[in-house]
Amino acid sequence: MRRKPVTRQEMIFLAVSVAVSVLLMVLAYLFTAPLIPMQTVGSTGSTATLLDAARVDLNTAGLEALCTLPGIGEKKAQAIIDDRRANGPYRQLEDVTRVSGITQNTIANWADLAYVS
């Protein structure tokens, strides 16, 4: 019994399949997150919880950081920045209610996510 010879198209398909597989493995290796012990994370080497790292200082935060707070989009974040420039830094968290659209309920939703320095 004779074997059917491999056609050129089959060889090209096989070569492309192997190349794509190798490329995907290389990309998966390059884009995986490194496994770093918690002691080496951060500049001080101290261990900090993820929640502490995600907290937003209303007096120094930029547009992107403010947008991470619940109920704050780009327009309200920009309004906070504008209010901060016009009226100075916030002394307490409740001072941010002077921005239109931000209420005590909004601040309550921030719980431990926002603070003022």
Between CA 14 and CA 20 the distance in angstroms is 10
pTM, 2 dp: 0.56
Across 58-82, b (16+ Cβ under 10 Å) vs e yields: bbebeeebbbebeebeeebbebbbe
Domain boundaries, the chain: 38-115
Q: 58 with 80: CB under 8 angstroms?
A: yes
- Tens of pLDDT, residue by residue over 42-92, are 555 454 566 666 789 999 999 999 999 998 999 999 999 999 999 999 999
Q: What per-residue confidence (pLDDT) applies to 1?
A: 74
Superfamily of domain 38-115: Photosystem II 12 kDa extrinsic protein (1.10.150.320)
